[in-house]
Structure formats: structure tokens, C-alpha cells
């Protein structure tokens, strides 16, 4: 699949309605059963690999530390990830300009730009390439069935909804959500009868 953006010209939906559609699609993907090794069962066509999932988790972890250089070992331990695999992902994130490495005894990684300037779509496509649900919505794809297919517009809407959700979710949003979840867990631990709603 080609890397980078795949623009659907003249077919972008109204953000609000399709943002909700995209969220439902992403929730459905997350709810799929896990395989024996703990990884999500791969979806046919529309999928996001562990590379993109772990990349976003690493960026959230690094972003939560402010300007502090964060060793990958710390990220791997806190997130329960393979440090070796994380090193490969960090190399890709660095080349894409999301993080920069800091050398020295207190070295590690920090964000290369503000969290507000990084969105989930940019990260996922940098690590995955295209995340189009089906090949017919790719820019360079010519569909032989376009004159008889009754589903092409559906896939354009799905593709646009996914890009809408990911493109309108910044790393700052994910960091804030992570911090709220941690706070709710702390409140629950301190008072197990407290409402987290």
C-alpha cells in the first residue's frame, strides 16, 4: 500500500456525523476477540497493526513527561511492551519527526513538536502507510467494478470517517484522556465505593 495521505476528492463528509460513525467503527474493531497471543484478530482490509498502536502508546507516555527525556526502557516497562520492538518503532517515529533522541547519562526520547501539533492520523499513516478500508478508495486504484458496485460510496464514507476521527484527535487529547483515566483509577483505589462517572 502507498504511504502517506490518501485524499478522497470531493467526498469528505460533514465532520460531526461521520466522526461518530468512525468512533463506532473503531470501537467495533477494538471489541474483536483476541488471539491466543493477546493480539487483536486482524481485520480484512481495514486494520491497524501493533506498530501503530504501540507507537501511539509510546508517544502518549513520552508526552506525559513534559520536556523530560524518557528512556525507552521506562516506556516499555510502564506499557508492558517489548523494548526491542519499541526501539524499531521509535526509530520510525524519530525519522517521521515526532520524537528526537537525547544522548547522555540521562538520555532518552522527547517530543520533537508540541503534542497539540501531532494528530493520530499522521502517526498511524507514518507507521502503517495507507489505512484505507478497501483498495477501491485509494487514490491510485482503478476499480473495474465501479459501474456496477453499489458499495463504493459506503467505503468512501468509512474511509473519510476514520480519517476524521484520527485526524481530529491530537496527541494532547490522548495524553489528557490517559491522565483522566489514571486519576479515576486512583480515586477508585482510594475509595472503591466512589463513583467514577
Asked whether residue 176 is assigned to any structural domain, the reply reads yes
pLDDT at position 39 is: 37
Asked whether residue 58 is assigned to any structural domain, the reply reads yes
pLDDT at position 23 is: 53
Asked whether residue 157 is assigned to any structural domain, the reply reads yes
pLDDT at position 25 is: 52
pLDDT at position 148 is: 76
Asked whether residue 78 is assigned to any structural domain, the reply reads yes
Asked whether residue 7 is assigned to any structural domain, the reply reads no
CATH (domain of 123):
1.10.10.10
User: pLDDT digit string (tens) for 88-126?
Assistant: 999 999 999 999 999 988 899 999 999 999 999 999 999
For the entire predicted model, the pTM comes to 0.69
Nearest residue to 53 (alpha-carbon basis) of 156, 179, 182, 166 = 166
Asked whether residue 3 is assigned to any structural domain, the reply reads no
Q: How far is CA 78 from the centre of its chain?
A: 18
Residue 110 domain boundaries: 15-190
Count of beta carbons in the 10 Å neighbourhood of residue 117: 13
Residues in the chain with pLDDT values less than 50: 1-19, 29-30, 32-46
pLDDT at position 155 is: 87
Asked whether residue 195 is assigned to any structural domain, the reply reads no
Asked whether residue 5 is assigned to any structural domain, the reply reads no
* Domains: count for the chain: 1
Helices (H) then strands (E): counts for the chain: 7, 2
Q: Which residue's entry shows cell 490518501?
A: 6
Amino acid at each position: 500500500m502507498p504511504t502517506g495521505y490518501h485524499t478522497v476528492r470531493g467526498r469528505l463528509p460533514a465532520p460531526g456525523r461521520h466522526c461518530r460513525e468512525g468512533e463506532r467503527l473503531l470501537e467495533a474493531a477494538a471489541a474483536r476477540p483476541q488471539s491466543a497471543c493477546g493480539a487483536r484478530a486482524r481485520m480484512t482490509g481495514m486494520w491497524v497493526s501493533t506498530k501503530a498502536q504501540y507507537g501511539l502508546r509510546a508517544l502518549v507516555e513520552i508526552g506525559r513527561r513534559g520536556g523530560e527525556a524518557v528512556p525507552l526502557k521506562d516506556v516499555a516497562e510502564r506499557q508492558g511492551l517489548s523494548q526491542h520492538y519499541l526501539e524499531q518503532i521509535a526509530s520510525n517515529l524519530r525519522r517521521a519527526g515526532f520524537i528526537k533522541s537525547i544522548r547522555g547519562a540521562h538520555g532518552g526520547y522527547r517530543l520533537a513538536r508540541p503534542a497539540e501539533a501531532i494528530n493520530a492520523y499522521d502517526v498511524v499513516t507514518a507507521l502503517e502507510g495507507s489505512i484505507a478500508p478497501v483498495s477501491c478508495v485509494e487514490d491510485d486504484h482503478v476499480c473495474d467494478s465501479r459501474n456496477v458496485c453499489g458499495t463504493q460510496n459506503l467505503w468512501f464514507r468509512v474511509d473519510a470517517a476514520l480519517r476524521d476521527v484520527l485526524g481530529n484527535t491530537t496527541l494532547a487529547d490522548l495524553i489528557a484522556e490517559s491522565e483522566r483515566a489514571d486519576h479515576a483509577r486512583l480515586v477508585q483505589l482510594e475509595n472503591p465505593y466512589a463513583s467514577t462517572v
